[in-house]
Each structure stands twice: as C-alpha cells, then as structure tokens.
Amino acid sequence: MNFWDRFFRALGSLQPDEALWKTDGSEISRLPPRSDDLLSVAEKSPGCGILRAREMLSPLKSLSPIHIPIAESQLARPCSLKNASVELRLGTAMTRAIVSACKKQRLGVTAAWHAAVIFATQTTQAKYVAPGTQFGGFANVDLRRYFPPASVDAYLFNNHSTILPFSVEPNGKSFTQLARELSKFLSRDLSSSNPEIWSALGPMIQSLVPGFTAPHLTDTTPAVSSLGIIDTYIASTYPSGNGGRDDGYWEIEHVWFGDTVCGPWLECFMWSWQDQISLNTVYNPAYHTHVDVHKFLQLVVQKFMDGLGIVIREGDRMSKI
C-alpha cells in the first residue's frame, strides 16, 4: 500500500523523483532488503528450524475440522481459471459501532472478525454434516517490528509479512472468549516467546508447497486476511501539478483487495476505508455460487454484530459491491 501512495504522488508531480524512473541497470541494487536479510534465520543448532516448523504445523492436523462442506464430486472438478468475489461494505454507523464495541471489550477488530468467520463457518457446516470442533488456518504477521532500527522509509516498500499457523476450538466458548484468544495470538511477541521462530519460517513454507500444488485441492477451511485501516497508507485525494487551486487532483473512489488464485476454500478479506469496513470474499466458481457466498458473508456480519452485542437498527446500511 505504501507503493501505491508513492505511485499516486509520482503521477501527479510535475517533477517526479528521478530515482523512481531511472532504468540504468541499477534497479536490482535499489530494491529494498528481504525479510530474510533482516532477521536471524540461521538455526541455533542443526535441525532445530525444521523441528520447530513441524511443531508449529502439527495443530492443523485436526480429525474434526471446521470447514465449508463441498461434495467430493464437486472437489473433483477442475479449478476455474477466473475467480469471483462478493464484497459487503458496512455503513459508517455500523463500522463505528463495531470499533466502539471492540474498544469497550478490549478486543481487536481483526480478532473479533476472525471469531465471526469461525462461528459462521461452523454454523454453515452444521446445515449439512456434524460440525467440526477445531478451526485451523494461517494468520498474517507484520515482521517490521522485529527488524533492526532504521530510517522511516527503509522498510516501507516490500511485503515484509509472513503467515503463522493457528488453531482454536470454539466449542463451549463465548464470542468474546474466542476473540480474546485470537487477539492474544495475533499480538504476541514472537521473538521472545519462540527462539527458533525465524529459522522455522523457511522450512514451514517449503513443507506447505506440496499441499498447494496437488492436482486436486481438498481443503475447504476459509482463509482470513486483514488489511487494517487503508487510510493510514493511501490518501483519498492527491494533488496534480504543483498542487495549486487550478491544477486539480486525483481522487481515489474505492480500494479493493482480493486474490487471483483460489482453490475450493473461501478467501476472506477485511479492511477499512473512509470509515467503512469492507468484507470481501474471493471464491472459485467451480465450487461455490455467488448466492451461497453472499449468504455466508451475511452470516459473518450477523455473528459479528451478535457477538459484540450490536443491534442493527433500521437505516443502518450494508451494501453489496
């Protein structure tokens, strides 16, 4: 997102930064550092990273997973080469109510949304088969807080994030209890709680590759990714020319995040833009219909509201994009 901010500024500038447009063979040397270059990924003793990676992934091997049921005959179909999506944009009143309720209950909005997706998935599963008891997936983690101190711009323009496996058992827990458990996982200090975490990341990712390259993918547990408050990174308007009254400006009407490749699982995204939360679910039409995904998203919103104790009043808006 920092890239798009810099890009929009460059488009409107009469005197663009020469370093951004220079093509003289020095491009590779001007690329930002990789996460592996900034973290201590070396094993403290031989084999420790691989062993820790196996330990991290072991909770995902559930005998009773919470997932979206899909018939085996459907899973045998070839993937569609073009994804589809459904986005629900919550109104400003609903968004403010969610943020306010989370603050009062000391919950992160991301963790509360994760909990809503988990309960919605379990409810959907129960319509077809006995619901599972364990939800396992991967959470996105921003690695920049663990990098060496540097200038403000040093770590802006790269994807300095990774995924970490998590597993929760919602049965017998309230919405608040589950959200707090997830919030604790998302906010923990990785470097102090897990000495071999950095050396385990590479082996962990390598071990996941076969599962995503199999001829027929069978995992139907929804994936969740939160992008946070987009206004923190991208402005609504950008000046054109010298920024004078007559020079005009660029206006960003909407932002959208999704995925270009998707198996039989649902890819669920959440972000906030101009005081409105967007819930977007990308799906592969070989396995899901637009109607079913829309119903699932509506159920997520219902779990979100009910779990936080928010009453949706007449006039509160929720628009489908």
Give the chain's domains with CATH numbers.
31-228+254-320 (3.30.559.30)
The parts of the chain modelled with pLDDT lower than 70 are: 14-21, 151-155, 157, 193, 242-245, 313-321
**Bridge-based pairing state of the strands 318-320 and 161-168:** unpaired
pLDDT at residue 19, rounded to an integer: 62
pLDDT at residue 297, rounded to an integer: 96
For the question of whether the overall pTM of this predicted structure is more than 0.75, the answer is yes
Nearest to 297 by CA among 317, 275, 264, 268: 268
Nearest to 140 by CA among 187, 70, 92: 187
pLDDT at residue 153, rounded to an integer: 66
Residue with tokens 């979100």, as numbered in its chain: 304
**Bridge-based pairing state of the strands 249-251 and 237-239:** antiparallel
Type of residue found at 160 = H
106: left (phi over 0), alpha (psi -120 to 50) or beta: left
pLDDT at residue 106, rounded to an integer: 94
254-283 pLDDT, tens per residue? 899 888 778 899 999 999 999 999 999 999
**Bridge-based pairing state of the strands 249-251 and 267-273:** unpaired
Radius of gyration of the chain (CA): 22
pLDDT at residue 152, rounded to an integer: 57
pLDDT at residue 319, rounded to an integer: 55
Query: Are 118 and 51 in contact, with CB atoms under 8 Å apart?
Result: no
Nearest to 98 by CA among 193, 210, 187, 226: 226
